Amino acid sequence: MSARPGDVTIVTESPTVVESGPRSAPRPDERLFADGDRIVGRYRVEALLGQGGFGQVYRVQDELGDGRPLALKLARLHDAGSRAVEILKSEFALLASLKHPNLAEVHDFGHVRQDVAYFTQQLAPGVPLNQTGLRPDDPEAVPIWAQLCRALEYLHGRGILHRDVKPSNILVDQRARQLTLLDFGISRALGTGEERLLVGTFAYMPPEAISGGPLDARSDLYSLGITLYRQLAGRVPFEGTHSQILSAHMARVPELPSPETVNPQVAAVVERLLAKEPGARYASAAEVARALASANGKELEAEGAESLASYVLSGRFVGHAALHARLLELGFDLEPSAHVLVLSGEAGSGKSRLLREVRQRVQLAWRTFVEVEVRRTWLSKGVLPAIARAVINDDVAARLDDDDRRELARALPELRKRGERITVAVDPDRARQARIDGLGRAIALRFERAPGLLVVEDLHWADADALGLIAQLIGAARRSKARTAFVLATRPGKAADELSSLLGAELLTCDALEPGTSVRLIESMFGQSDLLAGTELGKSLARASHTAQEVQESLRLALDAGAIVRHEGKWQVVRPIPALPLGEVLGQRVSGLDEDCRALALGVAVLGGEAVASAAGAVAELDASLAGAALRRLVRAGVLEERYDREGRAAYAMHDRFRDVVLAGAPERERARAYLAAGRHLRGTAEGDFRVLFEAADHFARARELRLAIRTAAEAAKLAEKSGRPDQAATAVALEIGWQRSLGEVPASTWLRRFDLCLLAGIKEGADEALNALLARLGALDAAERVATLVRKARLALDRGEAEAARREAEQVLEEATALGDARLLSELTWVLARADEVYGHLDRAILSFESAAGFAEQAADARLEARAWLGASLSAIFLGKAGQAGGYAERALRAARAAQDPVAMSESLRCIGNSARETGDIPRALRVYRRAVRAARDGGSPESEAKALNNLGTVCHWAGLIPEAVSALQRSLTLKERLGLSASVLLTRNNLGGIYLSLGRFDEAQRELSAVMQVAGQNEPMVVALAHSNSADLHALRGELDSAVELYRSAHRMNRSRSNAMADSHAMPGLVRALAMRGGPGDLEEAGRVANELEALHAASDLAETRTRYFTSSAMLLDRVGDPEAALAQARRALDVGEERRQQFSDPFGTVLEAQWMEAILLARLGRTSAAKRAAQRARQELLKTSKHAGDKASVAIYLEANPLHRAIVGGRLDTPLGYTWFPSEVP
């Protein structure tokens, strides 16, 4: 073959796929991906390992798989058509099914772009063969050369040719005496078998590949011969240009090294391998191994159990065709719409293998496949965090809504930002629902770009609560329109039935293999359908159904026992093979392990079936080197499976059936010792993680070290509470209680802790259980425990909304508590009394009780209780209209909250300070403080407090005329509250939004919000109902619907008065006076006068700035209506006697400084003082135009000026309004 232009000397062993025509090669210095890049959204690049004619090779981490480090290789496709791509997928699916100790596993295949494919391989240890100096004439190296030959024999037995055998594709770890063959079948896959392509590396290419002749296993043996030659001579036999090398392969006989430097018998082996005619070469790689051993004067060692077992492990996937097709149908569906399929099957029936096959096909189709395993040790609360960890990769985390991220961070600390605090949820049930909804949205994000399957395996270990949570999660994913189907794998039984019932799921069963299918499986493993004929096992498989695990493990036991051997490339049965139950098969396999392996197997088993090497070694009491070697032997034996986390750290998992056998087979004393060692290891490595301490406590209990278990659970409870997870803390205390019962009676202190945590976590059943246990032995408790129990009884009644029962319980125990002198209990009691008074509107008395509670808390040095008490006092004072007093209480609450380092209490205290500033008219300060409250809540990780602070901020921004900020704050508050399920608080924010729309003249939007509030709000939200009635009355008054306005104002006034809510009544009463005066019907003016007197008393008793303006404007209107313009003018002018900052107010549609200015003009006109009236009218008009700028754009300003009849009157300048009116009733909308 003549050289083509541009032929150069080959100086590399890069794999080559050469076309017959010219084609531009990629630039070798072009790096397609930088470190840190993510390839196809899955593989994060860690380093470039190399590049050549074949493409680039990267070290990557699989972020969607098990996190292991891999080698990812890029390759240019010569045919990117759809048929060629399908062929590639099939080739790689076959390669990925292969398992052999001397082959680097192929994991995945896909496209980076249309003409560039990638595949991933195991990142094997070792260095290339050509860097080792390993020689085929070294007798000590014979076992390593045998490994290479056996890897090739394994491939050839499955119909796969390597087509690129050479030193750079062979890694040797000389310390471990382990060889790994790379890139098997890859060149053939990428070449697609077309004749116009030369596939392989020129220097190692067999003649028949060059001439286009048929290829078989002997073609790889020629390349093996070149490799052996290279290791003997230090060079390849043929060098030169491309054309010269190819010609030499066809015609020249290689010159062998001299007999003085090479064992002649080894040289003869190499010479035969390099024969030009395939028929003159060895027939198989197994024959080459025997020939090399003989040439070196060595006996060929028997093939190892792991190598033999690889034939069993790589049997074809057989059976379950309908299940496979249905799962693929779901996996390929572009809009799966959260369909749910329950896959039920006994242990070992092949569910995991089926899902592995589906995963491979789904991922090859560029779909998303996310897999989660339920662990036997999980409590219900561990299910959703595990799903979240599997779903939320870096990409999803970056796109998560910040509210969802913070809610999910309660369960996943890794989602917290640096220094971020996540506080205890105010309403734990609703916070839990918010987490579920947030995870549903995260699932939607994960499957947004590529739909696919979310698989949860081993759900039979989940309890009923966990199944309920999964059902809620699937509902949340459906609401978020997640493009995934859910596959829930479990064993037959209650879990499968409940899942089908809860979710209306499709139920499919993974049955055992039929007899004919078992035979096909064996044939795919050994290539011999009759291998087991005549054996007891063969007879059993031929007449009855068996699970895939039974077949596989029975054959592995036969291989371990030497009953099945491989001789000269053929399988033979040389001993009887009994048909044993699976449990006995696994038991014999475990008993055949060496002592270190059995100890480690027990260590992994007691650690829940999955463990890292250090943990397993600690439990087995083996040093690191012995443990590592034994773990590798267990993996090779198939007892353990090696897995990797997202950081690429290895962990070792044990199948449930093996775990049961290992635990049952260990003597009780040995098992208890292992559980104790596991508990100590976990406790010593917990590093403040309460979840790990949970597991440690459980292990101590299994070791019957109950006191140690109790102490550890108590530590876990404290850590969980400190971490903002009272629900987990309550679970830990429940464990304590169970173990304490085993030792005798449960101490009252434990029940009291259980009650407090359950109340904090919203676990009502747990709180009831704890209280009932305490009340049942009330007579046996000491005085402090008795009082503490009765205090909690009162607390529980208060939490249930039974304020009268709470007060009664508290009063009954108050004398006993006082005699006891426990300041903390007294603080709790007086706080309960204060809250009961607050509920019934006895706010003056409530304030006194809150002050007492704060004093007792200070004595007890409990800053948290003190802050809570001062906050109660501040809120009661503000409702009474004592804004200045409320501010003083709030400042004290803030000091206590800082001492308690309680961010929620700090935010609430700032809100109360802001309330005081707002109601005393200091709007600039209120703005500053509310903004601080929002930041404090956000920094403290309390979305509930943030939502409330935003509501306050929105209100005061509205007053200040900062309308865009006001609407933004209220809408943000509304979003948070709806996510958290704070129904009453949602209504309050919607009411405030309605108030903004009302003041802007956007009456239809105001009516929408206020009507929604009134339709939903009921007796449980009287304050919200009263505010909504009051605002709706304003709307009716502006529209001239005075009858409706009067009734709504009356309703609001009654509700406010019943609860002593002066702050809200300062809006309702002036509106009622105004509406009655405007209507002027029989008895209206008398009623208006009575209400005006009440309003005057409220004004005198309070220091609410807003009340002043509202009182004077409404009384001026009433005086005008009864014909006393002089007195009316005096009242209107008093309404104007406020600071300049109040003149910027932008809040109510009337009853404001603006209306007072206009009233002054009207009343001066009624008194005949025309010039003064015109000047006053001009001032009002200027004030209106100035204020209108806050309404927004031109269109919004026009609505603001036109919709409100008061504003139209001011713009029109007519001063002859009817008595008691500041606008013209004939012009209302």
Window from 40-49, 680-689, 1074-1083 with minimum mean pLDDT: 40-49
Q: Is the predicted pLDDT of residue 1100 greater than 50, yes or no? A: yes
Q: Scan for tokens 């008595």, then name that residue.
A: 1219
285 and 374: one domain?
no
Mean per-residue pLDDT for 289-312?
90
The model's pLDDT over 1006-1018, given as tens digits with 9 standing for 90+, comes to: 999 888 888 876 5
633 and 526: one domain?
no
Q: Is the predicted pLDDT of residue 804 greater than 60, yes or no? A: yes
CA–CA distances in Å: residue 289 to residues 70, 196, 791: 30, 34, 84
Structural domain boundaries enclosing 648: 593-666
The model's pLDDT over 604-617, given as tens digits with 9 standing for 90+, comes to: 999 987 888 999 99
- Quickly list H helices, 762-842: 764-776, 783-799, 803-820, 823-839
Please identify, among 554, 580, 606, the residue that sits at the C-terminal boundary of a domain: 580
The model's pLDDT over 364-401, given as tens digits with 9 standing for 90+, comes to: 777 888 888 887 654 555 788 889 988 998 889 889 98
**Please, which pLDDT band fits residue 666 given cuts at 50, 70 and 90?**
very high
CATH of the domain at 102: 3.30.200.20
Q: Is the predicted pLDDT of residue 1103 greater than 80, yes or no? A: no
How many Cβ atoms are within 10 Å of 650's Cβ, its own excluded? Answer: 16
Mean per-residue pLDDT for 109-131?
83
| DSSP state letter for 131 | G
191 and 286: one domain?
yes
1027 found inside a domain: yes
225 found inside a domain: yes
Bridge partners of 113, per DSSP, are 116
What is residue 5's predicted lDDT score, i.e. its pLDDT?
A: 33
What is residue 960's predicted lDDT score, i.e. its pLDDT?
A: 85
190 found inside a domain: yes
The DSSP result for 23-68, as a single string, is: -PPPPTT--SS-TT-EETTTEEEEEEEEEETTEEEEEEEETTTT--
Report the mean per-residue pLDDT for the chain.
86
Are 679 and 705 in contact, with CB atoms under 8 Å apart? yes
328 and 365: one domain?
yes
1047 and 1184: one domain?
yes
466 found inside a domain: yes
**Please, which pLDDT band fits residue 195 given cuts at 50, 70 and 90?**
very low
**Please, which pLDDT band fits residue 20 given cuts at 50, 70 and 90?**
very low
Q: Is the predicted pLDDT of residue 259 greater than 70, yes or no? A: yes
Rounded-to-integer distance, Cα 1151 and Cα 1106, Å: 9
Three-state secondary structure readout of 160-195: CCCCCCCHHHEEEECCCCEEEECCCCHHHHHHCCCC
Q: Is the predicted pLDDT of residue 909 greater than 70, yes or no? A: yes
For residue 477 the two structure tokens come to 């994913």
Q: Is the predicted pLDDT of residue 197 greater than 60, yes or no? A: no
- Quickly list H helices, 112-171: 142-157
The model's pLDDT over 1001-1052, given as tens digits with 9 standing for 90+, comes to: 899 999 998 888 888 765 557 778 888 899 999 999 999 999 999 999 999 9
CATH of the domain at 653: 1.10.10.10
The model's pLDDT over 398-431, given as tens digits with 9 standing for 90+, comes to: 899 888 888 888 778 778 777 666 666 656 677 7
What is residue 603's predicted lDDT score, i.e. its pLDDT?
A: 94
What is residue 14's predicted lDDT score, i.e. its pLDDT?
A: 39
Q: Is the predicted pLDDT of residue 752 greater than 60, yes or no? A: yes
The model's pLDDT over 985-994, given as tens digits with 9 standing for 90+, comes to: 888 888 889 9
Q: Report the percent of the chain where pLDDT is more than 90.
A: 49
Window from 115-124, 443-452, 654-663, 1174-1183 with minimum mean pLDDT: 115-124
What is residue 15's predicted lDDT score, i.e. its pLDDT?
A: 38
Helix, strand, coil % over all residues of the chain, rounded to 5:
60, 10, 30
Mean per-residue pLDDT for 309-327?
87
Domain count across the chain: 7
242 and 373: one domain?
no
Please identify, among 255, 283, 298, the residue that sits at the C-terminal boundary of a domain: 298
**Please, which pLDDT band fits residue 1145 given cuts at 50, 70 and 90?**
low
Q: Scan for tokens 């105010």, then name that residue.
A: 426
Mean per-residue pLDDT for 1100-1122?
86
101 and 165: one domain?
no
849 found inside a domain: no
Burial of 856 (0-12, 13-18, 19+ CB in 10 A): buried
Rounded-to-integer distance, Cα 986 and Cα 1015, Å: 13
657 and 549: one domain?
no
952 found inside a domain: no
Q: φ and ψ at 60, to 5 degrees? A: -135, 165
1080 and 1181: one domain?
yes
For residue 249 the two structure tokens come to 């392969």
Mean per-residue pLDDT for 725-742?
92
Q: Is the predicted pLDDT of residue 447 greater than 90, yes or no? A: yes
What is residue 453's predicted lDDT score, i.e. its pLDDT?
A: 94
53 found inside a domain: yes
854 found inside a domain: no
What is residue 23's predicted lDDT score, i.e. its pLDDT?
A: 34
**Please, which pLDDT band fits residue 41 given cuts at 50, 70 and 90?**
confident
What is residue 186's predicted lDDT score, i.e. its pLDDT?
A: 60
1210 and 1220: one domain?
yes
1129 and 1035: one domain?
yes
Are 1059 and 1078 in contact, with CB atoms under 8 Å apart? no
Are 840 and 803 in contact, with CB atoms under 8 Å apart? yes
474 and 538: one domain?
no
Mean per-residue pLDDT for 1152-1175?
93
CATH of the domain at 334: 3.40.50.300
Window from 325-334, 390-399, 640-649, 1098-1107 with minimum mean pLDDT: 640-649
